Amino acid sequence: MVVDANNLISRAIFASALGDLQAGGRFTGGIYGALGSLRSILSDPLMVGVGPIYACFDNGVPVSRMRALPDYKKVRRASRESLPEAEREKALGQILACYEMWPKLGVCCLSYKNREADDVVAAVVRVLLASGVHPTVVSSDRDLFQLVATGADVFDLRSRTLITLDEFAAHSDGVPLGRWLLYRALVGDSSDGIKGAPGCGPKRAKQLMLDLDDSSLADPLDPHAQLRHLCAVLRDRAKDAKKPRAFETSVLSHEDHLHRVLRAIDLRASFGPTDKLAERLTSLPRVDTKSFLQQCRALQFSSILGDPLGMLNPFLAAEARR
């Protein structure tokens, strides 16, 4: 199981942040909530048989991504605006607390300089697939749906469903898996400050993807080749149209920008060499009950969630299946 840790923990932090603030600003609800979510995922019938657990954390942004998208991540999520700046930083400190706590539960926590959690998740998936392991990614980030095309499954935290190769279209509003990256580039992502093609919203972008015939391409899964082919089709269409459709004209006028977006969001090679990462994946921590209970006492865990020993069972079971 490969967890997009920042995604999971942030959801817990901002679900509890106002309550923590009103309780005196001792931000621990995100730690409790994230741990409860992780335990719940391990106990979900869809995740039966999970063995090693790898949790991937943010530690900067790839330089190439910032060059391609200077406004990347400048837009703050609305949920974060509910807290003043100083308190927001304290609340986000719970991510580090989870990074330090989870290894006591046998979770292998991974963080690399100038890499986001998404990049590490994709790299771990690549290593596991190469070793013959079928990984399941845990996240609510739709950008990670692209990993289904590489051979992973995705457990979507929003819908609590498992997205597989056979069922992908049911979770992507009908957008074909092979064109998912191009679709994401066209619509953009306002929460991450990624601009797509103005006027080309999800409905229009989906129709373009469904109409696109990429059977003539040498590599039908190459999103850059798909974009070039799409623009060629739109240019031919514009020649015959008395009044070209505005969103199609927008795609053509933003072709270079869309190529930059594709380079930024394509996770297949965003991590770089994986030799050292592969070695790290074999060095798994063991469940340390004593240290975990000590940390729970420091966090007054039992007064909030009850006996922390009850939290350990799914992690012990996962450790036994390694």
**Residue 146: which pLDDT band, with cuts at 50, 70 and 90?**
very high
Global pTM value: 0.92
Tell me what percent of the residues of the chain surpass a pLDDT of 70. 96
Residue 229 has pLDDT above 80, yes or no: yes
Which structural domain, as residue segments, surrounds residue 222?
A: 180-265
pLDDT at 193: 87
Number of domains in the chain: 2
- pLDDT digit string (tens) for 182-216? 999 999 998 888 999 999 999 999 999 999 998 88
pLDDT at 82: 61
Q: Give the DSSP letter string of 159-203.
A: TTEEE-STTHHHHTTT--GGGHHHHHHHH-BGGGTB---TT--HH
- pLDDT digit string (tens) for 295-312? 888 888 876 667 888 889
Any idea what the CATH number is for the domain that residue 19 is in? 3.40.50.1010
CA distance 58 to 3: 12
65 and 155 co-located in one domain = yes
Averaged pLDDT score across all residues of the chain: 91
pLDDT at 77: 45
- pLDDT digit string (tens) for 268-304? 889 999 999 999 999 999 999 999 999 888 888 876 6
Q: Is residue 315 part of a domain?
A: no
299 and 210 co-located in one domain = no
245 and 282 co-located in one domain = no
- pLDDT digit string (tens) for 62-88? 999 999 998 887 755 444 556 677 787
Instruction: Compute the 3-state secondary structure of the chain and give helix, strand, coil in percent, each to the nearest 5.
Output: 60, 10, 35
Average pLDDT (133-148) is 96
